[in-house]
Structure 1
Amino acid sequence: MKTSVFGAVHLGYLVIETQRFSDWARFGTDAIGMHRDDLGSGVMRFRLDDQECRFLLRRGPAEDVVATGWHIDDHASFEQIEARIRAHGVPVVRGSAEEAELRGVERLLRFPGPKGITQEIYTTPLKSAEPLLMVSSGWVTGDAGLGHVAITSTKPERLRGYFDTVFDARLTDFIDETISGVKLKVRFLRVNERHHSIAVAAVRGLPIDPVRTRVQHLNIQADSLDDLARSYQRVHELGFDMALSVGQHTNDKELSYYARTPSGFEWEVGWNPIVVDESTWEPATHQGISIWGHTPVGQTIIDKLDQFRLGARSLTRPEKTVPALSGAPGPGRRR
């Protein structure tokens, strides 16, 4: 019988490829309020806590998230995940000492992931002795991990199967939403006590993907409501685009806003989401993403037309999947 690694997996860091280093420096440090370390002309890191790296930015053309790093609690779970991937015939590459050092981790492995986002696992995050220098008072990480990543997909069942196969991800709930006449279904997956570490959104009835980037948004959790409000104000004052105003989600009850990053995907800053109680939780379907708020900011009809153009273009562009790791979820697990 397969031993579950659920609970031993935590979203640890993200790797972003960009040419817009000066914009990202202002966005991450001055607007969002993270600690920044400049490691040279082509490398920059952001910290949220005592771990050396939560976001690694490297110079390149993608303007997107290119890798997701998962902290695995112990060597036994790490080796079990590695064995699963190899057993399915999927290549696993050991990260070099230099790559591990840039990410501030030990024992680094990488393997292919959905939508071309490389998945990386590691066992030990390195701690920094340098004090945090940031305008925010703090961020919530710990056992719940960094936050979450949201992905749009034309093949949501394959993403659901992938994260079940690799990490024993559990379905937390669904949201049904209609935006500009387009019906969406969003699946929320958890790998620990955080309500979700992965969200997968799909257009119902149409195999289109209206988002240019591999991720639609990523999320980090503010330590206080005051931190949330002040970062929202800084994003406005510094001239960065706001995607959605402050609002509250229906499912995890998180209060949040969405800013647009220099690379084009969105960055959600949230506060006070519920924590899942594994002994009582049952998946449910919620109608609408928000109880209140989260209204589009400055969106024009041109922006909406551009989204539909991107969606139409995705019909001719096959979505990258990893079929060998995207099988059916385990017994009793809903899609």
Structure 2
Amino acid sequence: MSLHTLGYVGFNATDLDDWRLYATGVLGMQAVDQTADALRLRMDGKHHRFAIHKSATPGFAYSGWDVGTRAELERLTAELTALGYPAAEGTEAERAFRRVVDLRVFTDPGGNRVELFYGQLSGCPFTPARQFGGFKTGELGLGHVVFMTRSVEAMMAFYAVIGLKMSDYIFIKPVQSMAYFMHLNARHHSLALLGGPQDVFHHIMIEANSLDDVGMANELALRQGRTVTMSLGKHTNDEVVSFYTMTPSGFELEYGCGGRTIDDQESWQVVEYDDISFWGHLGPLRPPV
């Protein structure tokens, strides 16, 4: 498999202080540093996993995927370029900010910035901002990202080239659209694609190590006055118990625990589920009956 993990993400926001309050006080992340232009947030031993950039237009900025080695970065760059996805070299400033050895920049069929990299700085001490049992990351990466797109087939083909494989799919009845879930390591999915009328970032998921941490984050989100967009529930396909909040960047963040893993990829069976959750997750995608 080509890709290793989803290594980092970048988002735009109008208010860095609000993101810091949300990330540290609700999510349990550590603020690494903050300037007038950016905030970096730590989840584990990597230098940072989230970068929040000051911008007049909030939303998704980029996703960074760890390909492991220079040889793999060169191979994927050549293959994607041959398929009509030319690469741009990461600048010295970008490499320094992301704390990686090298990176290449692509644009996926949905218009999203994709960064392939290797050599992410590791071994940094993680000190949560509140009492917290940590995140489930490591070889699974930081979590998963979800895009709504008008170009589902092209998006699946693009990400398949760089190593992602189908896990399963679900027909989302409230929006009358199919959602496709793709994995690149043992995490059930690192990427999901939801067919829709526009190309837009939908949500990011991060996984805590315990249900107590999820419950605490749920309570802290309510105490901070954050909008809970989907109530606590359990998903059918990845079995994550989670809830969703609206981030200061205007998209949703799923916070959960207990996700299943794909330990034997050769015997994995791709199936269709008829609902996104066993219970709960009441909200736009699963309204109360």
Q: Which residue of 1 aligns with 2:98?
A: 103
Q: CA deviation at 1:89?
A: 3.8
Structure 1 residue 18: Cα displacement: 1.3
Conserved? CA contact 1:68–1:118, under 8 Å = yes
2:177 corresponds to which of 164, 184, 207:
184
Find out whether 1:278 has 2:265 as its counterpart.
yes
CA contact (8 A) 2:28 2:128 kept: no
Say yes or no: does 1:246 pair with 2:232: yes
Larger-Rg structure: 1
Mapped pair 1:288 → 2:281? no
1:148 equivalent in structure 2: 144
Instruction: Please give the per-residue CA displacement for 1:121-140, whole angstroms capped at 9, x wherever unaligned.
Output: 11111025444232222001
Deviations 1:164-183 (A, max 9, x none): 12x1311110111211xx31
Could you tell me how far 1:293 is from its partner in structure 2?
0.3
- Give the counterpart letter for 1:154 in structure 2: R
Match of 1:323 in 2: none
**1:202 and 2:195 equivalent?**
yes
Is 1:138 the counterpart of 2:134? The answer is yes
* Residue pair 2:211, 2:257 contacting (<8 A) in 1 also: yes
Give TM-score scaled by structure 2 length. 0.93
**Partner of residue 7, structure 2:** 12
Alignment correspondent of 1:114 = 109
Identify the residue that residue 317 of structure 1 maps to in structure 2.
none
Q: Please give the alpha-carbon distance, in whole angstroms, between the structure 2 residues aligned to 1:56 and 1:127.
A: 16
Please name the residue that 1:193 is paired with.
186
> Structure 2 regions of 5+ residues with no counterpart?
none
> Tell me, what secondary structure is at the counterpart of 2:24?
helix
Separation of aligned partners in 1, 2:282 and 2:217: 18
Superposition map of 1:77-88 within 5 A: 77-88=72-83
Equivalent residue of 1:116, what SS? coil
AA paired with 2:223?
E
Letter in 1 for 2:283: P
RMSD of aligned residue pairs (Cα, Å):
1.8
SS in 1 for 2:153: helix
Deviations 1:150-191 (A, max 9, x none): 1111221111111112x1311110111211xx3121100111
CA distance 1:247–1:222, shift in 2 (3 Å): same
Letter in 2 for 1:45: R
Per-residue deviation, 1:104 = 1.7
Q: Secondary structure at the match of 1:279?
A: coil
Q: Give the distance between the partners of 1:129 and 1:258, measured in 2 at CA.
A: 28
Secondary structure in 2 matching 1:236: helix
TM-score by length of 1: 0.81
Deviations 1:243-293 (A, max 9, x none): 001100011111111000012100001101110121321100000100000
Q: CA deviation at 1:51?
A: 0.6
Aligned: 1:23 with 2:10? no
Listed one character per residue, the Cα deviations across residues 301-334 of structure 1 (whole Å, up to 9, x for unaligned) are: xxxxxxxxxxxxxxxxxxxxxxxxxxxxxxxxxx
Higher mean C-alpha deviation, range 108-117 or range 249-258: 108-117
Shift of residue 38, structure 1, vs aligned partner? 2.6
The percent of aligned pairs where both chains have the same amino acid is 29
Q: Distance in 2 between matches of 1:102 and 1:284?
A: 40
Give structure 1 stretches of 5+ with no counterpart: 301-335
Q: Which amino acid aligns with 1:272?
A: G
Partner of 1:223: 209
How far, CA to CA, are the matches of 2:270 and 2:128 in structure 1? 40
